[in-house]
């Protein structure tokens, strides 16, 4: 890649984020990153602030990065605790979140920071 060229990252579609295999792979990846649940918001916000990527919707339009605190709106991170809970086996989530923007931000975190992991989500 040309060093002067800006990397383009596309967001996942709503259908991808809600599909069971994709959701499971994203969930497993989030669980396996060594970030405490209370530090995730800061980690995501820092990544968006410090990265030189252009984020696009699947349609090609520019994705406006929202204020991370507004999307999660959960100062005690209760949502994240529920999201990370497993079904007792450690392999599957106990429940599924339907909050697409939260899932999209987590997905973008991997697409930007760990693209080699994120490329396995749709498989």
Q: Which residues are CB-contacts of 52 (< 8 A; sequence separation ≥ 6)?
A: 6, 7
Quote the DSSP letter at residue 8. E
What pLDDT is recorded for position 91? 87
Query: What is the sign, positive or negative, of the torsion defined by CA atoms of 47, 82, 11, 112?
Result: positive
All structural domains of the chain with their residue ranges: 7-116
What pLDDT is recorded for position 13? 96
What pLDDT is recorded for position 77? 76
Q: Low-confidence residues of the chain, pLDDT below 70?
A: 1-3, 75-76
- The answer to whether the CB of 11 falls within 8 A of the CB of 55 is yes
């Amino acid at each position: 890649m040309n060093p002067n060229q800006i990397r383009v990252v596309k967001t996942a579609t709503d259908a991808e984020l809600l599909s069971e295999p994709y959701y499971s792979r994203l969930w497993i990846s989030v669980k396996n990153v060594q970030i405490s649940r209370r530090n995730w918001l800061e980690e995501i916000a820092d990544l968006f602030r410090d990265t030189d990527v252009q984020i696009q919707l699947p349609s090609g339009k520019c994705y406006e990065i929202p204020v991370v605190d507004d999307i999660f709106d959960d100062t005690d991170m209760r949502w994240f605790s529920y999201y990370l809970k497993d079904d007792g086996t450690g392999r599957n989530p106990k429940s599924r979140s339907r909050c697409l923007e939260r899932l999209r931000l987590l997905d973008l975190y991997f697409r930007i920071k760990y693209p080699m992991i994120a490329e396995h989500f749709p498989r």
